[in-house]
């Protein structure tokens, strides 16, 4: 079987009571490790905006590397 040259995974997290988020405070999921890389999903409220982020917590200590991501989210009330 030929290598595709990349690895894939899916992470999910449901934030509850988003309307009660405090301004400028970050809310994050627990760390999940995929392919020896630690990841978190996070959210924060800034004024009237909701910021969502996917965070890679691995330091680059052994040469150049990069990660391409696709990030989809759903907002439900």
C-alpha dihedral, 67 to 16 to 46 to 73, nearest 10°: 40
Q: Taking the CA atoms of the chain, what radius of gyration do you get in angstroms? A: 15
pLDDT in tens, 1-58: 455 677 888 899 999 998 899 998 999 999 999 988 899 999 999 888 999 999 888 8
Q: What's this model's pTM, rounded to 2 decimal places?
A: 0.75
Structure confidence at residue 21 (pLDDT): 92
User: From the CB of residue 39, how many other CB atoms can be counted at a distance below 10 Å?
Assistant: 20
pLDDT in tens, 53-76: 998 888 877 777 777 888 888 877
Structure confidence at residue 27 (pLDDT): 95
Task: Give CA separation, 7 vs 60, 69, 70, in Å.
Answer: 18, 11, 13
Distance CA 46, CA 34 (A): 29
């Amino acid at each position: 079987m030929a290598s595709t040259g990349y690895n894939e995974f899916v992470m999910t997290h449901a934030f509850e009571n988003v309307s009660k988020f405090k301004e400028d405070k970050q809310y994050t999921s627990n760390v999940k490790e995929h392919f020896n890389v630690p990841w978190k999903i996070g959210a924060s409220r800034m004024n009237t905006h909701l910021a969502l982020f996917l965070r890679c917590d691995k330091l680059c200590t052994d040469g150049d590397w990069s990660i391409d991501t696709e990030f989809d989210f759903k907002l439900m009330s």
